[in-house]
Amino acid sequence: MNIILFGPPGSGKGTQSTLLVKTLGMRQVSTGDLFREAIKNKTSVGLRAKQYMDLGNLVPDSIVLEMVEENLKGAPSNFILDGFPRNLEQANSLDLLLKKIGIGIDKVIFLEVDKKDLIKRLVGRRVCSQCGSVYHVVTKPCSIDKVCDSCGGAVIQRADDSEEVVLSRLDVYEQYTSPLRGYYKSLGKYNEVNGNRNPTDVFEDIKKLM
């Protein structure tokens, strides 16, 4: 099954994708992770994307599409699109791309989370700079301060998880990404899951849709 997992920043897309990868062997295509990797490796895509990401803005569609196309070539199946598409233009381009490579999206799963909780989740979020494990200063702290429990790597705050950038990312989401709900409803592919719960309960509901 090929799915789009979408929702506001901090709604748990990354966490749920990781669970889908582990339990159902799906492949996660996260545009945010791909950009962070590109920035780490100082590639030209990374350098171009960084200036937009630092401010919480969307990276221009041409750059995003180039990267997604690169990752979807070879007609893969059983994948999760996480963080893409993020506006209607990207959704239209995705439709064309999938048609070209002869595959389709089976379901779109929207994770619904209250705005005040999103802010708390994002501002308190910390991530391992080595393996990407996710922590939270209040709800899931590391056993040793700033050291990853899984791999011993340095646990840091993402530059775009500062309160100022978080607020701007949520505005960008409302303006550009939220209209995709209507788009996918009109295609009959839309499913909504209550993301205001612990990850295990959210995952149980997602599994029922698979």
# chain residues binding ligand AMP, by CB under 6 A: 17
Q: Does 31 bind ligand AMP (CB under 6 A)?
A: yes
Q: Does 110 bind ligand AMP (CB under 6 A)?
A: no
Question: Residue from 8, 12, 83, 195 that binds ligand AMP (CB under 6 A)?
Answer: 83
Q: Does 38 bind ligand AMP (CB under 6 A)?
A: no
Main-chain phi, psi angles of 94, to 5 degrees: -65, -45
CA dihedral 23, 209, 77, 79 (to 10 degrees): -60
Between CA 161 and CA 181 the distance in angstroms is 24
Out of 36, 121, 125, 126, pick the active-site residue: 125
Between CA 50 and CA 44 the distance in angstroms is 10
3-class state of residue 208 by DSSP: helix
**Residue 27 · residue 71 · CB < 8 Å:** no
Question: Residue from 3, 26, 45, 64 that binds ligand AMP (CB under 6 A)?
Answer: 64
Which residues participate in catalysis according to the annotation?
13, 86, 125, 158, 169
**Binding residues vs ligand AMP (CB under 6 A):** 9, 31-32, 35, 52-53, 56-59, 64, 83-84, 86, 90, 160, 169
